[in-house]
Each structure stands twice: as C-alpha cells, then as structure tokens.
Structure 1
Amino acid sequence: MIFKVYYQDKITEVPVRERTNTLYIEATSEEDVRSKLKERGFNIEFITPVDGAYLEYEKQSENYKVLEN
C-alpha cells in the first residue's frame, strides 16, 4: 500500500503549513512507515493511505515519486 507522509525536515521544527513537505512510501501499515523513516530525523505530522481514485489523482502530480527504502 502507498502512504502519503506530511513532514518537517527536522525533528525539532514546529509544523508550519508553508514548510511542510510530502513524500510517498510503500509500506504495510502506518507503523511500518514510521519505522522506515525513523533514521531520517523527520518530524512526521500526518500519514494517510493513498489508494483508488485518490492514488490516481496523486500520480498525475509532477512531485509523485514513491520513496524506495
């Protein structure tokens, strides 16, 4: 399953919408996503599964790229 992760680059950063980044990652659960990204030091704001029509819409974005661990 593909998950969309909203995050700040540094764990110490306060979440501010204008500086929020996103990435896509393949994982089996939200817990799996967190374990895969643990070493990167991101301040994860929100994780949401992406599937169906939502996934097809996201694939049209030029920023869509699934992170490979």
Structure 2
Amino acid sequence: MIFKVYYQEQKSQSPQREKTKSLYMEAADAINARRILEEKTPYNIELVQELGENHLAYEKEHADFFLTEFE
C-alpha cells in the first residue's frame, strides 16, 4: 500500500500548516509505516494516510510524486 505522510522535520516542532511537509512511502499497513518512520527519521509525524486508487492517481498527476525508501 502507498501512504502519504504529513510531518514536521523535528520532533520538537508543533504541527503548523505552513511548516508541514509530506512524503510518499510504501508499507504493509499504517502501523508498519509509522514504525519505520519512528525508527528511521527525526520527524514529528502528524498523519499517515493510506491512498486509495483514485487519490493515488490524483497525487501522481498533480503533485511532485515519488516514493521515499528507508533502508
């Protein structure tokens, strides 16, 4: 599944719309996605949103879409 993740770059940052960034990642489920992000990044995770087929197609067409991979 593909997820869109909304985050702040540092855990100490409180969520503010103007400073929120996003990335796309693939994971088995939202819990696994959040676990990977917690282990591999210093990000303050706001939301992990699963993208349905139509939403994914829209993001690919209208956003700077690329999958972020964590090793």
TM tier, shorter chain? over 0.9
Q: How many residues align?
A: 69
* TM-score (norm. length: structure 2): 0.90
Q: Which runs of 5+ in 2 are unaligned?
A: none
Rounded to whole Å, the distance in 2 between the matches of 1:49 and 1:23 is 12
Question: TM-score, normalization: structure 1?
Answer: 0.92
Q: Which consecutive residues of structure 1, in runs of 5 or more, have no partner in the other structure? A: none
CA distance in 2, matches of 1:33, 1:16: 22
CA RMSD in angstroms comes to 1.0
The residue aligned with 2:13 is 13
CA distance in 1, matches of 2:42, 2:62: 26
Corresponding letter in the other structure for 2:19: R
